[in-house]
Structure 1
Amino acid sequence: CVTTSRPALSLSPPSLFPPSPLSVSLLRMGGVSEGDDVLARWSDGLLYLGNVKRVSACGILCMSLKQTSRALNMEMLCHYCHSGCLSCYHPECHTPTIEPEADSDSWICRQCVFAVATKRGGALKRGRFARLMQFMKLRLPYQLSSLDWDPQHLTNQQQCYCYCAGPGEWNLKMLQCGSCGQWFHEACTQCLTKPLLYGDRFYQFQCSVCTKGPETIQRLPMTWVDLAHLVLYHLSLCCKRKYFDFDHEILSFTNENWDSLLLGALSDTPKQDRCHNLLNALNSHKDRFVSGKEIKKKKCLFGLQVRAPPPLTSDSSPLITDPPINITHRRRSE
């Protein structure tokens, strides 16, 4: 059981809506005991400082020191984190493999590079850690072919995603690579110019593994119906409500975040015309939206028929009907 406090080694200020502690993977392995401070990776890809409240009877083994007998003469100590987590690696166990000529006094492990470089809205794009992260992202620290996916390729049984191999939820600020199909945390990508909204899949993205270099990304065209759906879905997860006032919440949120939405052809729409277009989309698509008037509430209220992210035009499957995931902070037992 791990309780968390603040982001650890995150370089960005807190966002309006906190990340979700849906699942957690401990990044300090081996010798973990009650009361220890640990780094815990949340589903948003960021690392948070946690405190161990209980250790299961089965124990936790250090992934990087599987062969203890060999560790004494074949270990590489991370220069950045050795004072805290004592991460040691066999040269062939680290991803990427540690070169023989690596400077033992300055080498930094993958874990610390990701911890420093990741941030809300996308990882660092400049500086030493950004360059190190880009180099390490050319290879995944796991076999993608070994993951067991659901039929829609949204989740895998191993809860292993992204470059960091951490847990994740596809609808909570993640991008899917169009080539390999893997999902990547917003916090671990270095190609975004604006933060993601929950459920925003209107991107054509390729990961660094597939491009063998920097990630590529392109914004897909959106309609007013897509925009209304995306805003309502984002608000429903953030506020944990189904219905929202059009003027004070839906339109207000859209106007306040207009430039961040990257709306392409819609972006030139004058502010005075946005109200009409959004309202028309909400009223004319009963398959997606429900108004307060239909349920004997105020007619200015609108909600989603099914609380699910907006579908892409390329989707061959219907809307995902599973209930949305609660994104509030809570304790999680391991």
Structure 2
Amino acid sequence: MSRRECAAPAERLWVSEGEDVLARWSDGLLYLGNVKRVDSVKQCCLVRFEDNSEFWVLRKDIHSLMRYSCCIFCSRSIVSPGYHPECHTPLIEPEVDPNSWICRQCVFAVATKRGGALKRGRFARLMQIMKVRLPYQLSSLDWDPQHLTNQQQCYCYCAGPGEWNLKMLQCGSCGQWFHEACTQCLTKPLLYGDRFYQFQCSVCTNGPETIQRLPMTWVDLAHLVLYHLSLCCKRKYFDFDHELMSFANENWESLLLGTLSDTPRQDRCQNLLNALNSHKDRFVSGKEIKKKKCLFGLQVRAPPPLSSDQSPFISGGSGGP
């Protein structure tokens, strides 16, 4: 990937059919794909990814692998490929060495990872500096009433698309959602739908992110495991012993369960089973639908609610390259 990618000038199509591009997905990561169709009216492209899946991607989330003499941000012409100093976030200082400078796009492409971004090294330090300012105006985004999605599909430090219920953290100060892949504060990877964190982004702290695990109950744990498995396996019902309990035991330390962490292995089973059987508003058992009684599923496929939630359950899905 070029150190200084750029888009096409404003008077040209930003990409063309058959062109190889990097497309930012809702997990915050960039994926290689090939443009199959361009819709100039809706400002999006149909991209075929390396696994042969095809999705429409917004223009803002597509980055050409070709070089043009223009600024990535505003598309006005410049002498060499890259950015105008005033267009890059943060601003490019006049005394910067052009031979060693690395743009925000390339820093994020290298530093972002599944499970959390790099914490050490040059790219980790550059990323932390760039995360103190967002490359967009947060106040300009149009949010739904629950503040879960915005019309611009603009989230995180990277300004990419996102899905709040799929490995994202919400800042308790500004309300924006941030990809797991772009955060540098996690000690363990997130499960799908895990919002049991008190998180503050680098913009709000004007420095490193802060994060604190919120307490969880057995009901929360049962709900979280069922939701995570339902998205991973694309099924509704799971065997208690062989799937639910097995997953919980195998990932016990990674779940960061606080006071529940000290529960002896022999007592975990009964606690989790009691939670599933005593909360019919959340869980459905197999015996209620004429299936095996050892099977359990969610009444509504949605992440476990926080005690501070004011909004009803919202169904979630998954998909991607």
**TM-score normalised to structure 1 length:** 0.76
> Contact 1:117–1:129 at 8 Å: present in 2 too?
yes
Q: Tell me how far 1:86 sits from its aligned partner.
A: 8.8
CA distance in 1, matches of 2:192, 2:41: 37
Question: Residue by residue, what CA displacement relative to the aligned partner does 1:9-48 show, whole Å, maximum 9, x if unpaired?
Answer: xxxxxxxxxxxxxxxxxxxxxxx22222111111000111
CA distance in 1, matches of 2:213, 2:236: 28
Task: Spell out structure 1 runs of 4+ moving beyond 2 A.
Answer: 64-67, 82-88
Question: Residue by residue, what CA displacement relative to the aligned partner does 1:124-150 show, whole Å, maximum 9, x if unpaired?
Answer: 000000000000000000000000000
CA distance in 1, matches of 2:205, 2:53: 32
Q: Tell me how far 1:74 sits from its aligned partner.
A: 39
CA distance in 2, matches of 1:87, 1:124: 25
> Contact 1:231–1:254 at 8 Å: present in 2 too?
yes
> Contact 1:95–1:139 at 8 Å: present in 2 too?
yes
> Contact 2:282–2:300 at 8 Å: present in 1 too?
yes
Q: Tell me how far 1:272 sits from its aligned partner.
A: 1.0
| Residue number among 213, 229, 249 corresponding to 1:235 in the alignment | 229
Q: Which segment drifts farther, 178-187 or 263-272?
A: 263-272
Question: Residue by residue, what CA displacement relative to the aligned partner does 1:169-221 show, whole Å, maximum 9, x if unpaired?
Answer: 00000000000000000000000000001110000000000000000000000
> Contact 2:71–2:84 at 8 Å: present in 1 too?
no
Question: Residue by residue, what CA displacement relative to the aligned partner does 1:266-308 show, whole Å, maximum 9, x if unpaired?
Answer: 0111111111110010001111101001111100000011111
Relative to structure 1, the CA distance from residue 44 to residue 117 in structure 2 (aligned partners, 3 Å threshold; closer, same or farther) is same
Alignment pair present for 1:246 and 2:243: no
CA distance in 2, matches of 1:213, 1:53: 41
Identity between Structure 1 and Structure 2 (%): 91
| Matched residues, number | 267
Unaligned runs of 5+ in 2: 1-14, 44-51, 55-67, 75-82, 312-321
Relative to structure 1, the CA distance from residue 280 to residue 258 in structure 2 (aligned partners, 3 Å threshold; closer, same or farther) is same
CA distance in 1, matches of 2:125, 2:260: 35
Relative to structure 1, the CA distance from residue 33 to residue 221 in structure 2 (aligned partners, 3 Å threshold; closer, same or farther) is same
> Contact 1:74–1:91 at 8 Å: present in 2 too?
no
CA distance in 2, matches of 1:232, 1:141: 36
Unaligned runs of 5+ in 1: 1-31, 56-63, 68-72, 76-81, 318-334
Alignment pair present for 1:216 and 2:210: yes
| Residue number among 20, 38, 42 corresponding to 1:66 in the alignment | 42
Q: Which segment drifts farther, 286-295 or 120-129?
A: 286-295
CA distance in 1, matches of 2:283, 2:53: 60
> Contact 2:73–2:87 at 8 Å: present in 1 too?
no
Question: Residue by residue, what CA displacement relative to the aligned partner does 1:31-76 show, whole Å, maximum 9, x if unpaired?
Answer: x222221111110001111111222xxxxxxxx9999xxxxx999x
Q: What's the counterpart of residue 61 of structure 1?
A: none
5 Å-filtered alignment, 1:152-171, equals 152-171=146-165
CA distance in 1, matches of 2:296, 2:100: 56
> Contact 2:29–2:109 at 8 Å: present in 1 too?
yes
Paired residue secondary structure (1:261): coil
Question: Residue by residue, what CA displacement relative to the aligned partner does 1:107-138 show, whole Å, maximum 9, x if unpaired?
Answer: 00000000000000000000000000000000
> Contact 2:21–2:32 at 8 Å: present in 1 too?
yes
Question: Residue by residue, what CA displacement relative to the aligned partner does 1:249-281 show, whole Å, maximum 9, x if unpaired?
Answer: 100111111111000000111111111110010
Relative to structure 1, the CA distance from residue 214 to residue 74 in structure 2 (aligned partners, 3 Å threshold; closer, same or farther) is farther
CA distance in 1, matches of 2:178, 2:20: 27
Q: Tell me how far 1:87 sits from its aligned partner.
A: 9.2
Relative to structure 1, the CA distance from residue 192 to residue 65 in structure 2 (aligned partners, 3 Å threshold; closer, same or farther) is farther
CA distance in 2, matches of 1:112, 1:289: 44
CA distance in 1, matches of 2:261, 2:201: 27
CA distance in 2, matches of 1:271, 1:85: 58
Paired residue secondary structure (1:248): helix
Relative to structure 1, the CA distance from residue 96 to residue 84 in structure 2 (aligned partners, 3 Å threshold; closer, same or farther) is closer
Q: What's the counterpart of residue 37 of structure 1?
A: 20
Q: What's the counterpart of residue 276 of structure 2?
A: 282
Paired residue secondary structure (1:94): coil
CA-based RMSD of the aligned residues comes to 4.9
Relative to structure 1, the CA distance from residue 126 to residue 137 in structure 2 (aligned partners, 3 Å threshold; closer, same or farther) is same
Paired residue secondary structure (1:290): strand
